[in-house]
Structure 1
């Protein structure tokens, strides 16, 4: 097992990898006590079966610069293969301002190829690579050095087996003609905005029930302060204050430290100092917004709006279409999507691209009364009306 600890060694490996058709990539990181992930290890492999084609890169090694790796990521002649890539890509997008291209995510490809929803790496290793993954080092503090041999073996397996998985899934996509389906899914991962939360938009993550416009405005200002503080101090947003405390503050509307002290859900550390000052300033800003400029509360989808019988029929249709296409139902539409359709929605991911062809068109036809569902033996059939 080779661990690269110098920039020159990393550059030599990346030069060799640039001659390969693809390179598999994984990372190990910590995030429990920080806002941004702390990159602790990078695993890389390209096609081959020798000791030099799969390595560990130690980003914690003194003086090591990841510039050669980012150059490889920008080399469009080499496919960069990940499994469940989002968190890995976030690290590279934030630390290196780079999103690998071209990109391939085996979890997305596996869903398109009929392996089910959010299939795990271990499942693919077992079913495709016909191997087993040693789980003994799963819960590891990857920032500690030195790494044990067991930890290194565990980490390296995340990219060595990935080679066989990628080659199998790529061949399956070529045969089925569904490569474009995967490319559509990857567009979100390619977008730099996916990995950066703008503080003014942070309130969209909150779950508010029937809020007033003023409550939304207060929640927006509080969430923006929390996000800015968390980013600037590199601490998890929930370490500043949690969502339930934020919503309590939006209802309490404290004007000073005395009123702030009445918040039951606020952490002790947030009742004083910079955080307390930020909370009071955010509340004041939310209260100062003129009535005509208040944000519009998100539309609440009441149960009375949803045609329950139609939603049930859509679930049957979704299962039928997913089985026919050999893809995970969740990849076509979520349960929430089906409720939205039954409530009259006519826009969403399900209504665009390949999803529209596979499921969306028939969903709309079912809502319009143009088709019906019939059972023949064990099969559900779509019947034109």
Structure 2
């Protein structure tokens, strides 16, 4: 495993990508209050690129170019949260996207355990530690433990996605999943403009 930490942006936009795993770390879980602190990326080759976001930073051209590139699929776990953070911070909505949490809920109907730790253990045999999950991600200097934790959230997403895709295909739910993923940017936009908890399709 190779982890590289960058400050502010990627030094260059990687070429030849077709998909990239993405995760974020923030000061908390409340949209509009808690700022984006870190963006993690992995192309699935055992390496992870970490981009530390400064207080008040609103531009990251190379990172934003990847998020907006229609030829690069972005793999998330709980995409709705990460996409909103990225869009609110840099003004770019990630697309196209794939969400392993949504895929798991569609595919693994035999369980209600859809966390990344559960998926990693069951589908690819990797044990993830969540020890650093609640640490201070806004600190100017991240510890080695924080960096290792952040990287672990993206290093296995490609293999998890492949395992979930096999179940979705077997259960004839792959096309439904694809349509849900295509709708995610709209769902995130609703979150950002004031409808985070309202079922806008409901009768009342």
Shorter chain as denominator, the TM-score bin is 0.7 to 0.9
Name 1:15's counterpart in structure 2: 14
Structure 1's 109 and 86: CA in aligned 2 closer, same or farther, altered over 3 A? Answer: same
Name 2:139's counterpart in structure 1: 144
Find the partner of 1:109 among 83, 103, 106.
Answer: 103
How far off is 1:147 after superposition? 0.9
Structure 1's 110 and 32: CA in aligned 2 closer, same or farther, altered over 3 A? Answer: closer
Distance in 1, Cα, partners of 2:108 & 2:29:
34
Distance in 2, Cα, partners of 1:34 & 1:195:
9
Name 1:246's counterpart in structure 2: none
Structure 1's 184 and 36: CA in aligned 2 closer, same or farther, altered over 3 A? Answer: farther
Find the partner of 1:184 among 167, 172, 179.
Answer: 179
Name 1:159's counterpart in structure 2: 154
- How many residues align structurally? 197
More strand by percentage: 2
Deviations 1:14-40 (A, max 9, x none): 323xx1321000000014788343011
Structure 1's 145 and 6: CA in aligned 2 closer, same or farther, altered over 3 A? Answer: closer
Point out where structure 2 has 5 or more consecutive residues left out of the alignment. Answer: none
Name 2:192's counterpart in structure 1: 196
User: Which is higher, the Rg of structure 1 or of structure 2?
Assistant: 1
Structure 1's 31 and 61: CA in aligned 2 closer, same or farther, altered over 3 A? Answer: closer
Are 1:134 and 2:136 counterparts?
no
How far off is 1:41 after superposition? 0.6
Are 1:24 and 2:11 counterparts?
no
Find the partner of 1:97 among 91, 94, 101.
Answer: 91
Task: Provide TM-score, normalisation by structure 2.
Answer: 0.83
Name 2:36's counterpart in structure 1: 39
Q: What root-mean-square deviation, in Å, do the aligned CA atoms of Structure 1 and Structure 2 show?
A: 2.9
More RCO (CA 8 Å, sep 6+): 2
Deviations 1:111-155 (A, max 9, x none): 111253461110001001201112221220110121111111111
